[in-house]
Amino acid sequence: MDGGLLDGGAACLVGSEDGLRSHQQLLSALSGEGGHLSPTLMLCDPACAAAFSAFRNRVGVDGHGLWWRDAARLIRSLHGRSPLDIWALGCADGRQEVALCEWLLATGIGWLRVLLIEQSLPLLTSAFRHAWGCIGGERELRLAGLQADLTEVPQVRFSRQTHRQLFCMLAPQLGLIESEILVLRRALWHAKPSDLLLLGFDVAGGNLDERTRVGPGQALLPSIDSIKGDGPIDPLLRALVTRPFQLYEPGLRELRLTASVETTGCSVPSSYAVELRGTVTAPPRKPRRYSLWRSKRYEPQALADSLLEEGWQLLRQWQDEKQTPTAGLHLYQRMHCEESCASDGPGSFSPTVRLSPQRLWPPTSTELVGLVGRAVIRRRLVTLCRALSRVRCQPVAMRSRESACAVGKRIAKLACLLL
């Protein structure tokens, strides 16, 4: 295809993910002996996808309306009226992304091109329908949808013409990803300097030391105490994790949910994950245990420091203390990152200087002639490439022996005159 996804008219493209096959895998997992039930399998079912959308928008789009207004104004001040390309990563039902686009259009940005990206086919179709009904008729906007995984984003050609890009990933998408920093690095591989990233996340409560000192009978943290042990769980989250068993588990008698806090696999310092585990009782089978939900929560400064190492600088942050768990939103800007080369630093192949104390001639008197430090430059023939199209190190030829002898003779004559 010569053009990009946004060069033609509005379209919603289905990727390589087979919805029927994923649904069959979900049924096989529910009929097994337990284990981890991934969100990818759960969200392939339309009923579970609807429950997830309700949980994601639990505060409501209007509840974060000031966030979208402030973020849109800041983006407008940084970007001006030039065209803007928006990558909505993991958009779910797209309601929050659409609200952001409406505010961006209201600020006066001249042209928007929006690409909704979601791996779940039910969520993608819901997001595209909602976006088309709300902003599809705008003259200053072009819309498309794509079913794809986050790591497949750099393989997508947006358009023939490249504009400044805004990447959006709103909560709780980041916390559901394993090795999220690595996935973000791969998903945003094609980001250019001055591109923007709007990242939503759930905020951690307390610090890492407090979490490691929690005992079995103690409250975990104030922000997550409501889901500890057998305590009450968010009704929307409970509806999400119990929906597959209610639909496809015959003879379901009981589904008991428990919550635990753990830090294993958290790539961002001072972050932790809340994991929901369920014990399914459906006679005549024995009770089975499932890991149903694992969502991470982040300390804002630690998250900003981790993304700074990836080349993203924090511009503005928002936080909502009324929501449980506390919601956070960061706006980052891509910096001009200078890639490191193997010729830099310790162990490099750069020319090095070694001071070698040597005598210029056999001394006749130790009082008159002493040791003179002569710098010997050692060079190696080597070529290292930063990339296929950019060469950092070039071959350096060694000096001939005749030139070195000539320099030595001149130094000896100068030493004689000085002495």
Specify the range with the lowest mean pLDDT, choosing from 27-41, 58-72, 171-185, 332-346.
332-346
Q: Please calculate the CA angle 47-52-56 and round it to the nearest 5 degrees.
A: 155
Q: Is residue 246 over pLDDT 80?
A: yes
Average confidence (pLDDT) over 30-49: 93
User: Dihedral, CA atoms, 381, 385, 390, 395, nearest 10 degrees?
Assistant: 0
For the segment(s) 11-334, the CATH number from 3.40.190.10, 3.20.20.60, 3.40.50.150, 3.40.50.1470 is: 3.40.50.150
Average confidence (pLDDT) over 323-346: 74
Average confidence (pLDDT) over 20-32: 90
Give the residue with greater pLDDT, 81 vs 359.
81
Lookup: tokens for 320: 């909502």
Average confidence (pLDDT) over 166-193: 94
Per-residue confidence at 222, pLDDT binned at 50, 70, 90?
A: very low
Average confidence (pLDDT) over 150-163: 87
Helix (H) or strand (E) holding 376: strand 372-378
> Range(s) for CATH 3.40.50.150 in the chain?
11-334
Q: Is residue 389 over pLDDT 50?
A: no
Q: Is residue 254 over pLDDT 60?
A: yes
Specify the range with the lowest mean pLDDT, choosing from 63-67, 192-196, 290-294.
63-67
The letter for the amino acid at 334 is R
Give the residue with greater pLDDT, 108 vs 230.
108
pLDDT the model gives residue 12: 84
Q: Write out pLDDT tens, residues 193-215.
A: 999 999 999 999 865 455 444 33
Q: Is residue 145 over pLDDT 60?
A: yes
8: Cα within 13 Å, side-chain hemisphere = 12
Q: Is residue 378 over pLDDT 80?
A: no
Q: Is residue 139 over pLDDT 70?
A: yes
Q: Is residue 65 over pLDDT 70?
A: yes
pLDDT the model gives residue 403: 67
Average confidence (pLDDT) over 167-173: 94
* Averaged pLDDT of the chain: 80
Specify the range with the lowest mean pLDDT, choosing from 7-16, 40-49, 238-247.
7-16
Q: Is residue 309 over pLDDT 90?
A: yes
pLDDT the model gives residue 375: 42
Give the residue with greater pLDDT, 406 vs 112.
112
Q: Is residue 357 over pLDDT 80?
A: no
pLDDT the model gives residue 114: 95
Q: Is residue 353 over pLDDT 50?
A: no
pLDDT the model gives residue 76: 94
The letter for the amino acid at 408 is G
Residue 410 CA: distances (Å) to CA of 139, 357, 372, 402: 79, 18, 14, 13
Average confidence (pLDDT) over 392-413: 63
pLDDT the model gives residue 300: 95
Q: Is residue 219 over pLDDT 90?
A: no
Give the residue with greater pLDDT, 250 vs 231.
250
Q: Which residues contact 110 (CB under 8 A, 6 or more apart)?
A: 81, 82, 83, 140
pLDDT the model gives residue 383: 37
Packed helices 180-187 and 300-309: angle between N→C axes, nearest 10 degrees: 50
- Is 0.85 surpassed by the pTM of this model? no
Name the range with the highest mean pLDDT among 151-165, 265-279, 301-315: 301-315
Average confidence (pLDDT) over 62-76: 86
Q: Which residues contact 378 (CB under 8 A, 6 or more apart)?
A: 351, 352, 353, 354
Average confidence (pLDDT) over 357-372: 46
Query: What is the percent of the chain where pLDDT is above 70?
Result: 75
